[in-house]
Each structure stands twice: as C-alpha cells, then as structure tokens.
Amino acid sequence: MMRRAALIAVPYLWLLVLFLAPFLIVLKISLSDAALAIPPYTPTLKDGIGALISELDFENFVFLTEDDLYWKAYLSSLRIALISTFLTLLVGYPIAYGMAKAPEEWRPTLMMLVILPFWTSFLIRVYSWMGILSNEGLLNQLLTWLGLINEPLTILNTNTAVYIGIVYTYLPFMILPIYAALDRMDSSLNEAAEDLGCSKMQAFWLVTIPLSKNGIIAGSFLVFIPALGEFVIPSLLGGSGTLMIGKVLWEEFFNNRDWPVASAVAVILLLILVIPIVLFQRNQQKQQEAEQ
C-alpha cells in the first residue's frame, strides 16, 4: 500500500510543483502591478497575504483591451493559424491519400519518410527556408532563370513566408491522422459507389471525404493549436508586420521587461486555446468510442 502511494505521489508532486504552481504564479502576476523592483512587480509574497489579496486587480487585462496592438495580435494569430491550417490540409490530404493507395510494401517506408522530419530539429527546418525565400535566395534565382519574373519577389519577412513555414513544419501532424483514417477505410465502398453510377470524383466527395472526416478534424486541430502560440516561425520568417501573440509575449517579457502584462497576455492566450483543445478532446473521444 505504501508503495502504491509513493508511486502516485512522486509524479503527482512533481507536476504540482513544476506545472500547476507556475501557472498559479502567472495568474497572480497578471493581476499585479509592474514595479521598479526585483522581482519587477508588486505585491510580492513578502508583503503578506492581506496586501496580496487587496492589491490584486484586473488593470493589466483592461490595459490589453485598450491598447489595440494586443487585439490585433490575437486576431492576426487566429487568422494566420486558420489560413495555414487550411493550407496544410490542402497540401497534406493528397499526400496522405497517395500513401493510403500505395502498394502495401511501400507503406512502412513512406510512413518513415513522413515521420523523419518530425525528429529533425524544428529550428533547423524553419531556418532551411531562410536561404530559399530570401531576395537573392534559390527560389528567386530559379524563377528568374526560368524567366517568370524580372525582379526578385519579396517573400522572406512577410506573412507568406510564415504560412510556408507553418505548412512545412506541421505537415506530418496533418498527414498522419488522415492517412490513419484512409487506411482503415474499406475500398469496396468506393467501388460500390462507382457501380451505382457515381463518377470517380463524386465517389471521392461523397464517400472518401466523409469517411476520413475524423482524420481531417484531428489533423487540423493538431496544426491549429500549436500554430496559434507559435514563436520561432514568425520571428525567423515573418517580418516586422507579422503580428503573432507568441512573439508579442516574448517581446513584452524580454524586451519591455513588463512581467505583469506578459503574464496577462499568457492568461488570455490560454483562455482562447481552451475552446479548440476541448473540441479536439471531444473529437478524439468520439473516435475512440466509434472504434470500440
């Protein structure tokens, strides 16, 4: 019995101290005021519990609603995450479909080729696009050589580069769940649809797409959720005009050293994320129940 208690207590306490407690601290600091002190906010625990409760207020949250930088950053993060999720779906679906239709003996290799980039450093994969998209980069050299453009296109440091970066790095998250859904599908259903007079295209829209719906939904959430709080991609590929909330939080903390506002930004980002996360969980549960 003692052993069981210890087995539960060790990971439990670890997560309480290093996961839950830090959040409560963020929440508390988001309600504090900035101060010229170390640490740079007030009140701190040293001021006593009474002062701690009476001095907390929602000032920082009010500040976030007043300064339209933050509004714009949240909205533009949502827009960038939505657009790139959609683009990832457009790129990922045909690949997953091709994999599911490939001969049986190729599939483990194809699967491995999709997973391999996932194990490679995220930072390096984002960085690899910098040399391709820059003004003197390979893409512009290629397009000029083909005679398609006369002047180099500015792609690096724009939102377009951010979309490319997100599609590229999160593509495996989209491909794998869709492939899993398509792989489970019975191909005789499509044949039946064609026998009953559907064209190939109609059978695809009316049979294949609805049957892979769960994979599409799961993949979209797996791309959308991390893309929303993304920091590395907008800061390496995006420009000064690219507003994303992960970057704003980073700058608020490291450049402006405003801890209370950075914490308030974090709290709101979490609140926004709760909705897609709950929806994702529900989709997964439904899928599990359907499988049983």
Q: From the centroid of its chain, how far is CA 46?
A: 38
Candidate ranges 79-87, 132-140, 178-186, 190-198; the one touching other proteins (CB under 8 A)? 132-140
Please select the residue that binds other proteins; options are 2, 37, 124, 271, rule is CB under 8 A: 124
Distance CA 240, CA 252 (A): 15
Show the 3-state SS of the chain.
CHHHHHHHHHHHHHHHHHHHHHHHHHHHHHCCEECCCCCCEECCHHHHHHHHHHCCCCHHHHHHHHCHHHHHHHHHHHHHHHHHHHHHHHHHHHHHHHHHHCCHHHHHHHHHHHHHHHHCCHHHHHHHHHHHHCCCCHHHHHHHHCCCCCCCCCCCCCHHHHHHHHHHHHHHHHHHHHHHHHHHCCCHHHHHHHHCCCCHHHHHHHHHHHHCHHHHHHHHHHHHHHHHCCCHHHHHCCCCCCCCHHHHHHHHHHCCCCHHHHHHHHHHHHHHHHHHHHHHHHHHHHHHHHHC
> Minimal distance in Å, beta carbon 147 to other proteins?
19
Side-chain-facing half-sphere of 241: CA atoms under 13 Å: 7
Q: Judged by CB under 8 A, does residue 101 bind other proteins?
A: yes
Cβ-based nearer residue to other proteins, 3 or 241: 3
Q: Footprint of other proteins on residues 213-272 (CB under 8 A)?
A: 225-226, 228-232, 235-236, 246, 249-250, 253, 259, 262-263, 266, 269-270
Q: Judged by CB under 8 A, does residue 66 bind other proteins?
A: no
Please select the residue that binds other proteins; options are 47, 53, 57, 122, rule is CB under 8 A: 122
Cβ-based nearer residue to other proteins, 196 or 271: 271
Please select the residue that binds other proteins; options are 53, 69, 123, 206, rule is CB under 8 A: 123
Q: Footprint of other proteins on residues 164-223 (CB under 8 A)?
A: 168, 171
Candidate ranges 62-70, 87-95, 142-150, 212-220; the one touching other proteins (CB under 8 A)? 87-95
Tell me the site size for other proteins, rule CB under 8 A. 79
Cβ-based nearer residue to other proteins, 126 or 214: 126
> Minimal distance in Å, beta carbon 51 to other proteins?
16
Q: Judged by CB under 8 A, does residue 115 bind other proteins?
A: yes
* CB atoms near residue 89 (< 10 Å): 17
Cβ-based nearer residue to other proteins, 26 or 34: 26
Distance CA 273, CA 265 (A): 12
Distance CA 9, CA 103 (A): 49
Cβ-based nearer residue to other proteins, 148 or 275: 275
Q: Footprint of other proteins on residues 45-64 (CB under 8 A)?
A: 45
Q: Judged by CB under 8 A, does residue 130 bind other proteins?
A: yes
Please select the residue that binds other proteins; options are 31, 73, 99, 207, rule is CB under 8 A: 99
Calculate the dihedral angle through the C-alpha atoms of 207, 213, 216, 220, rounding to the nearest 10 degrees. Answer: 150
Q: Judged by CB under 8 A, does residue 127 bind other proteins?
A: yes
> Minimal distance in Å, beta carbon 232 to other proteins?
6
Q: Footprint of other proteins on residues 12-31 (CB under 8 A)?
A: 12, 14-16, 18-23, 25-26, 29
Please select the residue that binds other proteins; options are 53, 69, 102, 206, rule is CB under 8 A: 102
